[in-house]
Every structure is written in structure tokens, then in C-alpha cells.
């Protein structure tokens, strides 16, 4: 009797073949039984009728995950008995749908640069350099250099298939409040995608990855699994300045303004009056963490200073708004 044979998943059985020796006056037959428990139980099938053709017969046991066979040796008394050398049982796993286990996004503007290119190629970009060849995504990411590219949003995901099938991916996007999905890419082979968001209006979006085992299955038998991201903000518009006041009193320059951004919190505000260095200023409430912040501060001007105030506002998506305001010497 054989050990329990594990097909790895619910399977349909094909043919069983064997090789051995059956001297004159002897016979060798096989039987099978099957089940879905790792050890034979009452739920397993009964032993099948004997298989008599070593060149192969269809396995009669019902489909399942586990299979076992036993050999029936017969010989006349005193004669040399038969010998079993090799048994092969063919099966086809029931197709299991892929599973997208995780879908996440890098912070705005972060991308991976593929190694070991002589020119910088963004990993996951739909438009790589001509002649570019891809390897396994997980290996490439572990070797890749992370850098910044304005306007890009990088999506990463993990997917698995119970049958070990090759997978391709489709990526879609949907703006918050809309019902229909718009296809970004189909038959994508990497588990990373770098989107140049300049093609999307500012707003909040959902992204969806659909994994398909189509490359490993006949048409009509492929299955899919999908996952949708948490809402992601796309913001390529710089902050604005309102209610700007600049007045000079001797060596003192009094400045006031409101900085605001439609979608992202403000991160930092810097001001410059040459020959001074850039100076970080803080809002009235003390913390720069909102989409609207009020500023009021006084600069000490050295002798011979310029008559131009420059203010730069940076938001959480890396957008910079610039204000230039002249004032009397």
C-alpha cells in the first residue's frame, strides 16, 4: 500500500500507469481510493475496481485532494512473484482564484529606480526605455534605489495563487463619488505600478488591482481576485497666498498672509529677503499642519537689504507655491 499522495488541492484524477515485472503465471493489478482528509477516514471512497493495464487506465476514484493506491500481487505457489517498480498517477488541480493580499501606496512622488541601468528607469512605469527587460518584481525592488519624481504615485501589491499559476494584473482608477472604474493598464506583469498623476485631475481616488491566472489556464477557465486601495489624494496644484500685507518701519518688516491648499496640509513656509538666508516661519497657531494657515511675523532687515520679499509654501504632496512682494526701501 502506498503512502498518502497529496495533490495539493482539490483535483480531478487522470490515468494511472505502472511499470514492473510479471513472470509467467503471475499478475499485478492496482486499486485506488481518494478523499479530502490527510488520513483515510469513513469519508474516503471505497477501493476502486482493479486496474489491469499497466500502460494506463482512467482512475475511477472520485475527485479529491488525496489519493492512495495498493498493489494486488498474485502468483502460483513456489513461483517467482511479480515486482512493482514505478507508479504514476496524473491529476489536474481545480483552479483556485488568485488572492491579492495587500495593496499599498508609497508616499507622493516616491518611485523605485530599476537596477542596474546606465540610465534611470522608473520601476513599474508603463513606458520604460526601449529594449528594457524585467525580472522578478520582489528581487528588483530589493535592489532598486528609491528616489523622488514629481507627480508620481507608486502602488505596490502582493498576490498569490493556490495553484502556483502565473499571474497578470489589470489596474483601474475611480474618482471619489463616481461609480465607474477607468482602466489604466491591462495584462500588467509586475506587482508594482508607478502612475504619473499629471493625467488625473486633482482629487481623491480609489485604485483597484485585479489579478488573473489567465496565462496558466485555457480560455474560459481563468479566475480573478481583486483588491481596492484606501482612498488616495492626487494633488499637483501649489498652495496659494491670500490677504498679503507687507509694511516697513525702519529696519523692521512686518509681514502677514494666509497660505492655503485645496487638498493637502501645508508642511513648511520659508521666507527670504537678501542678503539674509532662507528662514522658516511658523503660523499663528504654532504648528504648520492644516490646509489653511495664518502667518504674522516681523523680520529684522540689515543695512543695504533688498526690497523684495520671497515666500515659498510647501504642501504634503511636494507642491511649492511662491509669493514675491516688493516693499519700500
Going by C-alpha positions, the residue among 271, 264, 281 that lies closest to residue 327 is: 271
Predicted local distance difference test score (pLDDT) of residue 101: 96
Grid cell 537689504 — which residue? 305
pLDDT, one tens digit per residue, over 218-242 is 999 999 999 999 999 999 999 999 9
Same structural domain for residues 171 and 275?
Answer: no
pLDDT, one tens digit per residue, over 134-149 is 445 555 556 667 899 9
- CATH number where 194 lies: 2.60.40.10
Residue numbers of the domain that contains 74 = 5-93
Judge contact between 129 and 119, C-beta under 8 A: yes
Residue 113 confidence class, pLDDT cut points 50, 70, 90: confident
- Provide the number of structural domains found in the chain: 3
Domain boundary (27, 59, 93) is at: 93
DSSP reduced 3-state for 226: strand
Predicted local distance difference test score (pLDDT) of residue 118: 45
Pseudo-torsion of CA 281, 285, 290, 291, nearest 10°? -70
pLDDT, one tens digit per residue, over 241-300 is 999 999 999 999 999 999 999 999 999 999 999 999 999 999 999 999 999 999 999 999
Q: By CB neighbour count within 10 A (0-12 exposed, 13-18 middle, 19+ buried), where does 231 fall?
A: exposed
Percent of the chain with pLDDT over 70: 91
pLDDT of 217 over the 60 cut = yes
Residue 189 confidence class, pLDDT cut points 50, 70, 90: very high
pLDDT, one tens digit per residue, over 174-187 is 999 999 999 999 99
φ/ψ region of 164 (left if φ > 0, alpha if ψ in -120 to 50, else beta) reads left
Same structural domain for residues 122 and 136?
Answer: yes
Domain boundary (43, 73, 93) is at: 93
Q: What angle do CA 288, 293, 297 make, to 5 degrees?
A: 85
Predicted local distance difference test score (pLDDT) of residue 28: 95
Predicted local distance difference test score (pLDDT) of residue 329: 81
Amino acid at each position: 500500500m502506498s503512502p498518502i499522495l497529496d495533490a495539493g488541492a482539490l483535483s480531478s484524477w487522470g490515468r494511472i500507469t505502472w511499470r514492473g515485472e510479471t513472470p509467467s503465471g503471475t499478475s499485478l493489478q492496482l486499486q485506488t481510493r481518494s478523499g479530502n482528509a490527510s488520513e483515510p477516514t469513513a469519508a474516503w471512497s471505497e477501493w476502486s475496481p482493479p486496474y489491469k493495464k499497466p500502460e494506463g487506465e482512467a482512475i475511477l476514484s472520485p475527485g479529491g485532494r488525496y489519493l492512495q493506491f495498493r498493489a494486488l500481487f498474485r502468483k502460483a505457489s513456489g513461483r517467482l512473484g511479480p515486482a512493482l517498480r514505478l507508479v504514476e498517477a496524473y491529476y489536474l488541480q481545480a483552479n483556485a482564484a488568485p488572492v491579492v493580499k495587500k495593496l499599498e501606496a508609497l508616499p507622493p512622488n516616491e518611485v523605485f529606480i530599476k537596477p542596474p541601468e546606465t540610465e534611470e528607469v522608473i520601476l513599474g512605469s508603463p513606458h520604460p526605455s526601449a529594449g528594457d527587460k524585467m525580472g522578478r518584481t520582489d528581487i528588483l525592488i530589493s535592489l532598486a534605489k528609491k528616489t523622488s519624481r514629481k507627480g508620481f504615485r507608486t502602488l505596490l501589491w502582493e498576490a498569490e495563487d493556490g495553484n502556483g499559476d502565473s499571474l497578470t494584473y489589470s489596474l483601474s482608477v475611480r474618482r471619489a463619488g463616481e461609480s465607474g472604474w477607468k482602466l489604466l493598464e491591462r495584462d500588467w506583469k509586475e506587482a508594482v505600478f508607478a502612475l504619473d498623476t499629471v493625467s488625473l485631475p486633482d482629487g481623491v481616488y480609489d485604485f483597484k488591482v485585479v489579478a488573473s491566472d489567465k496565462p496558466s489556464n485555457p480560455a474560459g477557465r481563468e479566475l480573478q481576485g481583486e483588491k481596492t486601495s484606501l482612498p488616495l489624494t492626487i494633488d499637483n496644484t501649489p498652495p496659494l497666498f491670500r490677504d498679503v500685507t507687507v509694511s516697513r518701519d525702519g529696519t523692521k518688516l512686518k509681514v502677514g498672509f494666509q497660505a492655503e491648499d485645496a487638498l493637502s496640509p501645508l508642511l513648511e513656509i520659508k521666507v527670504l529677503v537678501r542678503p539674509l538666508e532662507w528662514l522658516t516661519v511658523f503660523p499663528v497657531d504654532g504648528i504648520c499642519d492644516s490646509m489653511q494657515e495664518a502667518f504674522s511675523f516681523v523680520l529684522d532687515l540689515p543695512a543695504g537689504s533688498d526690497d523684495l520679499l520671497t515666500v515659498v509654501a510647501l504642501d504634503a504632496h511636494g507642491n511649492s507655491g511662491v509669493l514675491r512682494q516688493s516693499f519700500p526701501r
